[in-house]
Chains A and B, each alone.
Chain A
Amino acid sequence: MNFTSKKPAFEHLRKRWVAKHRTLTNKVLEKHGSIGRQLALGGIGGLMLLATPGTGLLSAPHLLASGGQILKDKDTNILLANELSGKVPKEMRALNPQEDEEIAAILTKNFGFKIAPSLEGKRLNRTYGMIGGEQHLYRYPGDNLFQHGDNAVDFAMYGSAGIAPHLGAWGYFAPSQTEFSEKDKMRERYYIAVQTFLAPGFAERTAEYRDFFKFRKMVVVNPETGQSVVTDIGDAGPAEWTGKHLGGSPEVMNYLGLAEGPRQGAVLYFFIDDPGDTIPLGPVKVKDTQS
């Protein structure tokens, strides 16, 4: 990564930290032989070796296991984008029932699990809309923004979105920090906000619909790039006057390729039929047989 920053503070820090990193890396490589080398090349260590000049360890693309995820998703899912091209309208409008079914069939075929515009006779107000970036949500009483990232890169990528001053539509994800589970963590990380209140039938059977929508899994697809994320409904919104139809967590926006600039874009969003809760939340690639 070559920067041309003219900020003296950044340049000073960058040089110091690159030198420090190089010293630490070389120490592991020299002191611990082949095991040190294999460990250093895994995960974030491998990423940094690839990004740090002078280490002489430029190597295979598979080492970009974590940080290369976004690019990798984009590459393999571009086939999906090609297939959706011509099926998704150029203008922003709700899809008609025939379009809904055609696109759901394409997504089901590509991802290998059942995707549908409606489940149990319930549907949202639309399946194609404008998504906008949301903030993080409080996950348990006493939660704060710094608890949301697993490491410094997480903070750098997702911290600036901030944390919403209110709770999500379902309240906290867990009643306390001690009861907060990995599943709760993933639910907040990959949440979307959808206009549940505009769903046909919601006003008449609010409690039933609320229970149906709560943490319901949906796949969100950027039709331009094919980048796709398995998400869950974690909040209700946005308001109609915003001109947006749904919102995505900072992580969802990132994996859709919509985290930069205006942090919005046109997406498809369909229910996932997953009664056994077997499909993991997070970025999803088309099946191998498609690539």
Chain B
Amino acid sequence: MFYQKYIVIESLIEELHGMDLSNEERHHLSTLLDSSLHHAILDEILSNLSEPDKNVFLLKINQNPDDEKLMEFLNQRIENIEGKIRKVSNDLIKEMHKDIKEAKQK
């Protein structure tokens, strides 16, 4: 995904690897983590784009979700989009860290 370099999930991954989980369980949680981040970032982006730009964004991301030019497109339309992506992902990652901490006490 084009936003991958702005999110830092290593600490969460380390926590998951430190838990007593089967490969299937770890895979399931990791999929939830990836997809939750994806939706949180999508919401942030779409909330800051005009309707016509949303359609262009949709077209571009469907063509190549890894295309780094997507960030150029967003940068021209949203002020500090990189910071916004970082913030929304960091907030969610912090929440998920709390969830892991609670889970470990069960």
Taking Cβ atoms with an 8 Å cutoff, the residues of A that contact B are 1, 3, 5, 7-14, 16-18, 20-21, 24-25, 27-28, 31-32, 35-36, 38-40, 42-45, 47-48, 51, 67, 146, 149-153, 155-157, 159-160
Having A3-B25, A44-B38, A151-B1, one finds 13 other A-B pairs with CB under 8 Å, namely A12-B103, A14-B32, A16-B103, A21-B35, A28-B43, A31-B43, A36-B43, A39-B46, A48-B32, A152-B29, A155-B16, A155-B17, A156-B16
Whether B39 pairs with A24 at a CB distance below 8 angstroms is yes
Is B78 part of the contact surface with A, judged by Cβ < 8 Å?
A: no
B-chain residues with CB within 8 Å of residue A47 when the two chains form the complex: 31, 35
Q: Shortest CB–CB separation between residue A158 and chain B, in angstroms?
A: 11
C-alpha spacing A3/B92, complex, angstroms: 25
Q: Shortest CB–CB separation between residue B24 and chain A, in angstroms?
A: 7
Which secondary structure dominates where chain B touches chain A? helix
C-alpha spacing A218/B96, complex, angstroms: 42
CB < 8 Å: which of B14, B35, B54 contacts A44? B35
Which secondary structure dominates where chain A touches chain B? helix
Whether A152 pairs with B39 at a CB distance below 8 angstroms is no
Is B79 part of the contact surface with A, judged by Cβ < 8 Å?
A: no
Which residues in chain B, 56-106, are within 8 Å of chain A measured between CB atoms? Answer: 58, 61-62, 65, 92, 95-96, 99-100, 102-104, 106
A-chain residues with CB within 8 Å of residue B36 when the two chains form the complex: 17, 20-21, 24
CB < 8 Å: which of A13, A27, A44, A160 contacts B29? A13
A28-B27 in contact given A17-B32, A44-B38 (Cβ < 8 Å)? no
A-chain residues with CB within 8 Å of residue B38 when the two chains form the complex: 43-45
Whether A27 pairs with B13 at a CB distance below 8 angstroms is no
A27-B28 in contact given A20-B95, A152-B13, A160-B23 (Cβ < 8 Å)? no
Q: Shortest CB–CB separation between residue B45 and chain A, in angstroms?
A: 9
Q: Number of residues in B with C-beta < 8 Å to the partner? A: 49
A-chain residues with CB within 8 Å of residue B58 when the two chains form the complex: 35, 38-39
A153-B27 in contact given A9-B103, A13-B99, A24-B43 (Cβ < 8 Å)? yes
The 9 A-B pairs at the shortest CB distance, nearest first, are namely A48-B35, A156-B30, A152-B30, A8-B106, A24-B39, A13-B103, A17-B32, A152-B33, A12-B103
The closest CB in chain B to the CB of A151 belongs to B34
A32-B46 in contact given A9-B20, A156-B16 (Cβ < 8 Å)? yes
Whether A27 pairs with B16 at a CB distance below 8 angstroms is no
